[in-house]
Amino acid sequence: MLQSGDIPGLLRHLRAHADGMEPAEAARLMAEAAARSGFEDLREAAVAVAADPSDPQKLYDYGYACVERGVSFLAVPALRAALALVPGERALLTELVAALEDEWRHAEAVAVLDEHAADLWPWPDRYLLAYNALMAGDLDRASVEAERLPAPEDDGWLPARDRLARMLGRARAVRAVSPLDTRDLRGWHFALTGGVLATLSPFGFDDGMTGRYAYMGDGYATCRRSLDRLRLILAAAGREPAAVGLLPDRSSRILGLAAAEVLGLPAEPFDPARPDVLVVAYDLNEADLDEAAARGLWERAPGQVLFEHATCWTDPPPVSADISGFLHQAVAKPWGERLRFDSDSGNVEQVPPDERPAEELAAEIVGTAPAVEEGDGTAPPDSDGVLSRFVSAVRDHWLSGPRDRVRSPGPVPSSRFQ
């Protein structure tokens, strides 16, 4: 793979096999890959480990570089090896936990911290134990560990403490009405992000998707379905926005204009300080927010509700939406360039983007019947009544605190493209 220049192929191979390889073997491969990619820091660290894999400082430097360059799966075996050479070294321990968190391996992070229980400090070590226990789905353990935490001496940890407390509070509220097991996507999505998931994917639930989409070919009917569910959620929570705030990107403007029409609200440009506004985004990763707007969404004006139609779960947006239409890895917009199968010719053809004005496309959403997909029968019930009851049960824990980004999908796994 290296000889052909297939760096992505090499990384896929290493992701699948790195834990069973010696760090020096993986480092030799990464040294060449890093050189070809222009990552000099990672190349130097990999060369050093390949030459002397018994030096814990070199293993740490390599692991740190792997985390910084987004290949934390390679950092894990190197940092484990370093920690075995210097048991109890806190810098190695916390960096290993960080690498495992990056890889969504929260149960392993808890196990590593438990192995070094006698050496743990309250902050951040035991906080990390509580946090990773929660992300692994162990609410009881997370609650016990959180209750044991003293107030942090460093005020810099106060936001983390408060964030964990909000997550635990939401999880307890959810557990009264939902199982919070490894299949409870809506429950855990709310507990971790504070957002209500409007729609579960009805396809492949038992085949690895558990309510998320991998590739989603979006359509006008799906957009209308999200807006109808948005209206249901607002009603169940007793929320009555005064206006719709329009974000600047084209897709969000289209959907925002449609939402304003469906809900009977005026539409206006988004003002971060404006209270009681429903902010509508198509995909927050593409929302083209300036610094003031991004900070305003994170901080949350009084009564503000943030709705995102298409939420990417493998690359979460900078802020967590209060309502997500559905969770996807990749999405094709209804008005974007897309592939279409021609049944007459049997060919797949490229359809150019729909360049009609935003107002026309919004009107098409409003005038389209909502799509209610039957699916393959494996997903749990997702009726309007089920969603309404869920929102009614958790609404006292909704719309509180800043909209923190949550990088991990938490205890509910789903299949994804690598």
What would the CATH number be for the domain defined by 178-397? 3.40.50
Kindly state the tokens that stand for 246: 């329009």
What was the pLDDT predicted at 340? 73
Give the pLDDT score at 349.
81
Q: How confident is the model at residue 375 (pLDDT cuts 50, 70, 90)?
A: confident
Mean pLDDT, the chain, rounded, equals: 95
Write down the architecture of domain 7-171 according to CATH.
Answer: Alpha Horseshoe (1.25)
Q: What span, in angstroms and rounded, lies between the C-alpha atoms of 361 and 374?
A: 26
What is the average pLDDT across 367-371? 94
Locate tokens 């957009």: which residue?
223
Give the model's pLDDT for residue 341.
66
- Structure confidence by residue, pLDDT tens digits, 217-259: 999 999 999 999 999 999 999 999 999 999 999 999 999 999 9
The predicted pLDDT at position 3 comes to: 62
pLDDT > 90? residue 135: yes
Reported as a single tens digit per residue, the pLDDT across 311-352 is 999 999 999 999 999 999 999 999 998 777 666 777 778 889
Q: Where in the chain is the domain with CATH 1.25.40.10?
A: 7-171
Give the HSE-up count for residue 243: Cα atoms under 13 Å, Cβ half-sphere.
12
- Distance between CA 160 and CA 138 in Å, rounded? 18
Share of the chain above pLDDT 70, in %: 98
What's the average model confidence in pLDDT over 362-388? 94
Q: List the one residue out of 203, 253, 218 whose CA is nearest residue 338.
A: 218
Helices and strands: H and E segment counts in the chain: 16, 10
Every domain of the chain with CATH number 3.40.50 lies at 178-397
- Between CA 68 and CA 145 the distance in angstroms is 29
| 53-58 CB contacts, 8 Å cutoff, 24+ apart | 53/22, 53/23, 53/24, 53/27, 53/81, 54/85, 56/82, 56/85, 56/86, 56/89, 56/92
Q: How far is 166 from 144, CA to CA, in rounded Å? A: 15
